[in-house]
Amino acid sequence: MDIRKVPDDELRRLPVLAGLSDEQLARVRRAARLVELAEGEHLFEHGQRAERFFMLREGRIKLYRLSPEGDEKVIEIIRPGQSFAEAVMFMEGKRYPVSAQALVRSELVAFDNSVFLQILRESVETCFRVMAAMSMRLRARVNEIEALALQNATLRLVNYLLGELPEDAGESAEIRLPAPKNVIASRLSVQPETLSRILHQLCDKGLITVQGRTITVHDVPALRRYGGIA
Amino acid sequence: MDIRKVPDDELRRLPVLAGLSDEQLARVRRAARLVELAEGEHLFEHGQRAERFFMLREGRIKLYRLSPEGDEKVIEIIRPGQSFAEAVMFMEGKRYPVSAQALVRSELVAFDNSVFLQILRESVETCFRVMAAMSMRLRARVNEIEALALQNATLRLVNYLLGELPEDAGESAEIRLPAPKNVIASRLSVQPETLSRILHQLCDKGLITVQGRTITVHDVPALRRYGGIA
DNA sequence: GCCCGGAATTGACCCACGTTAAGGAGCGCT
DNA sequence: AGCGCTCCTTAACGTGGGTCAATTCCGGGC
């Protein structure tokens, strides 16, 4: 459980760390910790003071919000190789705007915000990388807002599936859902019952087959047509 | 119609320009243009290549998305003093993720992205200001996603009103809607008819009075209680 | 192989909100 | 004053998807 076991080139695969000098990376590493979470364990909670941002090495993390009534909205499902919560260090108050919980046993690198801010002060290139990462996320959020406001449940699911397709998807392709269906449902802002019904409809239409967490798309272009443009 | 009529201190009131040296500000200014839009005129359209970002001096700008079917979702209503579209210069593709249209006759300063990027390369402080601005917007978008996913129309309206209250609002306060009600409705992702009904309900409860575009909140704490936490 | 518990499905019902349609209110223009 | 906008409101009706309540499915432990 030592951060030293994480090789440099794995860290550098993170866009926001890719441009660092050996010396800078060493400083980042010195202030970083390896974190292991059991299934269901929380990494941080909404409103908590943020001292770190993260890279997921193994497992799956769910970022979500709770309503006062206890309803949950999954904002994003993090997969290995992704970083998250880098933007929080620039927010006034520096409080996490979401909660983070491990969906399965997970392993993460936790980076120290103040050390990273110090490095940003020395490295405009890294600033640019951070800004690029934040702008991507911003656009993703705007897309999500549009989806919630202008698309019905079926359209949101279809577009989600299209987004989950591998790059090299040909005529047909297989998708492995990154989480149980009830979590996917919350990510899409529908009830599990509704997700189940919509998947069933798409099966009836012959567009997909569902086998547990695996979805086979039989005719990608047809699904694309079905989903409109997005 | 000359950019020179805009005083330096007005430009510096923009957070992302506040830290510039006189020389840097002069360069920004040299590459900036003043833009005037008539009511209903478009500043840019979704998908268009972005060469500039903007500060609104006068008027009101609506940022929105259209669905393929022509339904409109207003993402944000810009007011004088605000800047927007700064994040686009960092996105791959550099294409505006929304459309921008003047709700009334408007006057803006259009800044040149490439000149500003050059200045960012020289000024880490300005990078930090940009990152702070982007993180605020990111949080705002996450809040919006939560609102759409977890709150009903009434709650969204109440929280919108609470957000529009002046800082120094005491027991009661007056709000002037920044746009016609149908635009506000789209901002809140409800139909105009529904907005009208909900406003009526809140009147019946004695919480507010509506007079055209002016809404008087009679009991701010009561409204806050009604709205839950957010 | 059997049991158990959470996840997923299915059906019946319901409701918040959208839709459609028909006024009404304010306001600039002639 | 009267016309013709656009914006807004009101009412009647329809529906997508939420809610509730049973099952059924499935994977892990023994």
Task: Name the residue facing A97 among B73, B142, B151 (closest C-beta).
Answer: B142
**Average pLDDT of chain B to the nearest whole number:** 94
Distance B181 CA to D12 C1' (A): 23
pLDDT band at A230 (very low <50, low <70, confident <90, very high): very low
Helix A113-122 to helix A124-150 angle (10° resolution) is 120
Domains and CATH numbers, chain B: 3-149 (2.60.120.10), 152-226 (1.10.10.10)
Interface contacts (A, B; CB < 8 Å): 129
Residues of chain B contacting residue A229, judged by C-beta atoms under 8 Å apart:
68
φ, ψ for residue B132, nearest 5 deg: -60, -45
Sign of CA dihedral A155, A161, A164, A168: negative
Provide the pLDDT for residue B10: 96
Task: Name the residue facing A68 among B75, B144, B228 (closest C-beta).
Answer: B228
pLDDT tens, residue by residue, A189-200? 999 999 999 999
Q: State the nucleotide closest to A199 in CA–C1' terms.
A: C9
Interchain contact B97–A (C-beta under 8 A): yes
Q: What angle do CA B46, B47, B53 make, to 5 degrees?
A: 75
Predicted confidence pLDDT, tens digits, chain B (230 residues): 688 999 999 999 999 999 999 999 999 999 999 999 999 999 999 999 999 999 999 999 999 999 998 899 999 999 999 999 999 999 999 999 999 999 999 999 999 999 999 999 999 999 999 999 999 999 999 999 999 999 999 999 999 999 999 988 788 899 999 999 999 999 999 999 999 999 999 999 999 999 999 999 999 999 998 876 54
Task: Name the residue facing A145 among B88, B141, B150 (closest C-beta).
Answer: B141
Residue A9 clears pLDDT 80, i.e. is over it: yes
Count other C-beta atoms under 10 Å from residue A6's C-beta.
Answer: 16
In angstroms, the separation between the Cα of residue B2 and the nearest Cα of chain A is: 31
Provide the pLDDT for residue B230: 45
Name residues 1-40 of chain B within 8 A of A (Cβ).
Answer: none
What gap in Å lies between CA B158 and CA B144, rounded to an integer? Answer: 14
Cβ distance B92 to A142 less than 8 Å, yes or no, reads: no
Residues of chain A contacting residue B128, judged by C-beta atoms under 8 Å apart:
90, 120, 127
In angstroms, the separation between the Cα of residue A41 and the nearest Cα of chain B is: 22
In angstroms, the separation between the Cα of residue A207 and the nearest Cα of chain B is: 22
